[in-house]
């Protein structure tokens, strides 16, 4: 089955700096890679996702890159703000039409943005 590794487990940055979280996956058939943000005591929420037919996707201060050859993908947050402090999870999945999506999650990265 799929195995997803995520690094680092904790990350502390100063407000305004950039943060990068990296994930690797094992199953070359995986073709969908979402990122979830979980604030303390709250539910995981999707912040951005990427499909295997693109190499990069950007949404305001958040971007995700995908290297299919190396089987790794990364989350980039620029101009970090205190409200970015949370646990971030990457995931990988094989998406097929008509089937339930079975996500394999990484272990999470706790991001702390300090003033």
Partner 1 sequence: ETGVTQTPRHLVMGMTNKKSLKCEQHLGHNAMYWYKQSAKKPLELMFVYSLEERVENNSVPSRFSPECPNSSHLFLHLHTLQPEDSALYLCASSQDGGWGNIQYFGAGTRLSVL
How far is residue 25 from each of residues 11, 44, 97, measured CA to CA in Å?
Answer: 21, 20, 21
29 lies in the binding site for partner 1 (CB under 8 A)? no
Site string for partner 1, 70-89 (x = CB under 8 A): -------------------x
51 lies in the binding site for partner 1 (CB under 8 A)? yes
d(CA 43, CA 11): 20
Tell me which residue of 106, 84, 89, 109 sits closest to 17, measured CA to CA: 84
Neighbours of 68 (CB within 10 A): 14
**Binds partner 1 by CB under 8 A, chosen from 34, 35, 37, 113:** 34
Query: Which of 16/55 has CB closer to partner 1?
Result: 55
Residues forming the site for partner 1 (CB under 8 A) = 4, 6, 32, 34, 36, 42-46, 49, 51, 89, 91, 95, 97-108
């Amino acid at each position: 089955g799929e195995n997803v590794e995520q690094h680092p487990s904790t990350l502390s940055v100063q407000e305004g700096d950039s943060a990068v979280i990296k994930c690797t996956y094992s199953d070359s058939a995986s073709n969908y890679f979402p990122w979830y943000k979980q604030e303390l005591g709250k539910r995981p929420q999707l912040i951005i996702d990427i499909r295997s037919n693109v190499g990069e996707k950007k949404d305001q201060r958040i971007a995700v890159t995908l290297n299919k050859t190396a089987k790794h993908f990364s989350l980039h947050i620029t101009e970090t703000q205190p409200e970015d402090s949370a646990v971030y999870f990457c995931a990988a999945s094989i998406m097929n039409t008509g089937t339930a999506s079975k996500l394999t999650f990484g272990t999470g990265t706790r991001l702390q943005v300090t003033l």
